[in-house]
Amino acid sequence: MRYLPVLLDLRGRPCVVIGGGSVALQKCETLSRAGADLVVVSPTVVPALASLLESPSLRYIRREYRPGDLAGAFLAIVATTEAAVQQAVWLEAQERGVLINVVDRPDLCTFVMPAILAQEELILAVSTSGSCPGFAAALRDRIGNQLGPEYGRALAIARSLRTRWKLKRLAVEERRRRVQLLLDDDFLSALRSEDWPAVKRHVAMIEGEEIPLPVGDHGR
Residue 117: in which H helix or E strand, if any?
Answer: strand 115-119
- pLDDT, one tens digit per residue, over 77-104 is 999 999 999 999 999 999 999 999 999 9
- pLDDT, one tens digit per residue, over 24-75 is 999 999 999 999 999 999 999 999 999 999 988 899 999 999 999 999 999 9
Query: pTM to 2 decimals?
Result: 0.83
Strand partners for 102:
78
Contact between 19 and 81 (Cβ < 8 Å): no
How many angstroms separate the CA atoms of 10 and 39, rounded? 13
162 SS3 class = helix
Contact between 143 and 126 (Cβ < 8 Å): yes
Contact between 202 and 186 (Cβ < 8 Å): yes
- pLDDT, one tens digit per residue, over 162-204 is 999 999 999 999 999 999 999 999 999 999 999 999 999 999 9
- The end-to-end CA distance of the chain, in Å, is 44
37 SS3 class = strand
25 SS3 class = helix
